Amino acid sequence: MLTAAAFVVAIAVLVAVHEWGHYVMARACGVKVLRFSVGFGPRLVGWTSPKTGTEYVIGWLPLGGYVKMLDEREGPVSSSERAMAFNTQPVSLRAAIASAGPIANLLLAVLLYSIVNWIGQEQPQAILAKPPPGSVLASAGLVGGERVQNVGFEGETLTGIASFDGLRWWLARGAIEHRNVEIEFAPNLNPNTRLVLLPLTTLDARHADAQLFQQIGVIGPYSRAQLGPLAPDGAAAASKLKAGDVVLRVGTIDIVDAPQLRELIRSSGRLGEPRQQTWLVDRDGQRLEVAVTPKLVHDGDQSIGRVGAVVGASPVMTRVQYGFIEGISRAISHTWEISALTLRVMGQIVTGDASLKNLSGPIAIADYAGKSAAIGWTQYVVFLALMSVSLGVLNLLPVPVLDGGHLMYYLWEALSGKPVTPSWTERLQKVGLVLLLAMMSVAVVNDVTRLLQ
């Protein structure tokens, strides 16, 4: 229920803002608006302004919207109202009206990111977990526990990093844009900083998903290998371990973080009955050696080991918050970065340098909406901002039936001095519709495939 509600609200807000951009610019240019609709299909609710004659409608199907303007190409227009028809406006005003919708979405993203920046949110500190073997971070000599302080692209000035999410954003951009990233960090329990170059240009970044972060080596933030509540009948309780114990070593293996410890426990049962292990733990500053024998359990078709305890402390958090001016500045920069990255990925999909699997459809969007809303309102606002950027950029693509396609018509008209002929407009609109339906079909197939995996 939450997922459906979050999805409908998100689509309604994004569409309403997009169409509001077209509507406001049309009114500012002196064009008469006949209908402002959020949603398609039969009218659910609505009213007509006695002053302007504009009909405001909410349709049954909340998956889009439109602004219907007075236009001689769509019906007869009286001579007294001809100056208010869309098709009689100069090409510059028609282009302004067409571009106003996507611009409104981008401005909404800036506003939403600014609000989150002003209010602030708790985020994990930029402390690295133990990277997977063979990843970029592991190959660069990072072992986990490093606190990243500054980051930047190779050859550019480094900037301060506020959180793990900010660090992961830099690394994702570097991989997708085929740029190496430099990080300055302080090793665990060491005040001296080091500078390391991460060769992200070596990665295959065609799939911008969790597998990409696996290759980079940043799956999640650092989590200390501390035990939480113990099951009364578990191996941890039988070994006299206690909640709060920090595991420092298992056998001869030094433990860096909780994911590493969890994997060691699980892998102990993959070859049969687990053997006894010697754990070195820190209990309130005192180091103890404890004999632990994980229990063999079956997880689906796998045999794994378990100790019957919650393994892993919560990540160390920091509050990320900015003042009024800096909050807006960072919001503008982030909106620009996401827009540029979105266009880059779109271009890579066209050239074959990125996979079509990067496209997401309504099922994935609804899933993300529900998950972000369940986490909290700030995460939902961030989700709305991201979707608003995506909608704005998508509509600016030079594809007929989208706003960007209409802008291409107006560019041709401005350069040639004559509009695109109706016959060519009809052909191009059909091509654009086919391209859009094909893209949507691929996105839906990707959504279903992800659900079945």
Instruction: Give the type of residue at 228.
Output: G
Cα–Cα separations (whole angstroms), residue 190 to 220, 285, 429: 22, 19, 62
User: How many residues are present in the chain?
Assistant: 453
Say whether pLDDT at 439 is over 80. no
What pLDDT, on a 0 to 100 scale, did the predictor assign at position 40? Answer: 83
Which range (246-250, 346-350, 414-418) has the least confidence? Answer: 346-350
Q: Which residue has the tokens 């997401």?
A: 360
For the question of residue 19 being annotated catalytic, the response is: yes
pLDDT class of 36 with cuts at 50, 70, 90: very high
Q: What is the pLDDT of residue 207?
A: 67
pLDDT at residue 5 greater than cutoff 90 = no
Q: CB neighbours of 272 closer than 8 A, spacing ≥ 6? A: 296, 303
Residue 236: band (very low, low, confident or very high) from pLDDT cuts 50, 70, 90: very high
Q: What's the mean pLDDT in 65-90? A: 91
353-391 pLDDT per residue, tens: 766 676 665 666 666 676 777 778 889 999 999 999 999
Taking a C-beta distance cutoff of 8 angstroms, is the pair 150, 161 a contact? yes
The structure's pTM equals 0.87
pLDDT value of position 298: 86
Question: Count of CB atoms within 10 A of residue 350's CB?
Answer: 9
Angstrom distance (rounded) from CA 225 to CA 247: 6
Q: What is the pLDDT of residues 98-140, one digit of tens each?
A: 999 999 999 999 999 999 999 999 999 999 999 999 999 999 9
CA-to-CA distance for 174 and 177, rounded, in angstroms? 5
| pLDDT of amino acid 446 | 66
Q: What tokens does 90 get?
A: 């100069």
Q: What digits encode the pLDDT tens for the residues 148-159?
A: 999 999 999 999
Mean pLDDT of 1-30: 89
Q: Higher confidence at residue 373 or residue 309?
A: 309
Residue 87: DSSP 8-state: G
Confidence of residue 438 (pLDDT cuts 50, 70, 90): confident
Hey, what amino acid is at 289?
A: E
> Are the CB atoms for 429 and 400 separated by under 8 Å?
yes
What are the DSSP calls for 413-428, one per residue?
HHHHSSPPPHHHHHHH
Q: For the purposes of burial, counting CB atoms within 10 Å of the CB of 277, is it exposed (0-12), middle (13-18) or buried (19 or more)?
A: buried
* Residue 130 CB coordination number (10 Å): 23
Over residues 250-270, the mean pLDDT reads 92
CA distance linking residue 36 with residue 67, whole number of Å: 5
Place of tokens 């909050």: 327
Q: Which domains, and CATH codes, for the chain?
A: 95-120+323-453 (no CATH), 121-221+315-320 (2.30.42.10), 227-311 (2.30.42.10)
Amino acid 367: pLDDT: 64
For range 235-246, the mean pLDDT: 93
In this prediction, what percent of the chain has a pLDDT beyond 90?
Answer: 60
How is residue 279 written in tokens?
């754990």
CA nearest neighbour of 290 among 309, 272, 314 = 309
Distances (CA, A) of 364 to 6, 394, 449: 13, 17, 11
Instruction: Using the predicted structure, report yes or no on whether residue 160 has a pLDDT greater than 80.
Output: yes
Task: For residue 289, list its beta bridge partners.
Answer: 280
Given the structure tokens 């692209």, which residue do they identify?
153
Instruction: Output the average pLDDT for the chain.
Output: 88
Predicted pLDDT of residue 102: 95
Q: Select the highest-mean-pLDDT range: 60-64, 120-124, 268-272.
A: 120-124
Does position 12 have pLDDT exceeding 80, yes or no? yes
User: pLDDT confidence of 190, banded at 50, 70, 90?
Assistant: low
48: which strand partners? 55
The amino acid sitting at 342 is T
> Can you give the pLDDT at residue 363?
62
Give the residue from 262, 328, 265 showing the smallest Cα distance to 107. 328
User: Which of 19, 122, 154, 326 is labelled catalytic?
Assistant: 19
What is the enclosing helix (H) or strand (E) of 102? Answer: helix 91-119
Say if residues 154 and 360 touch (Cβ distance below 8 Å).
no
Q: What is the pLDDT of residue 189?
A: 60
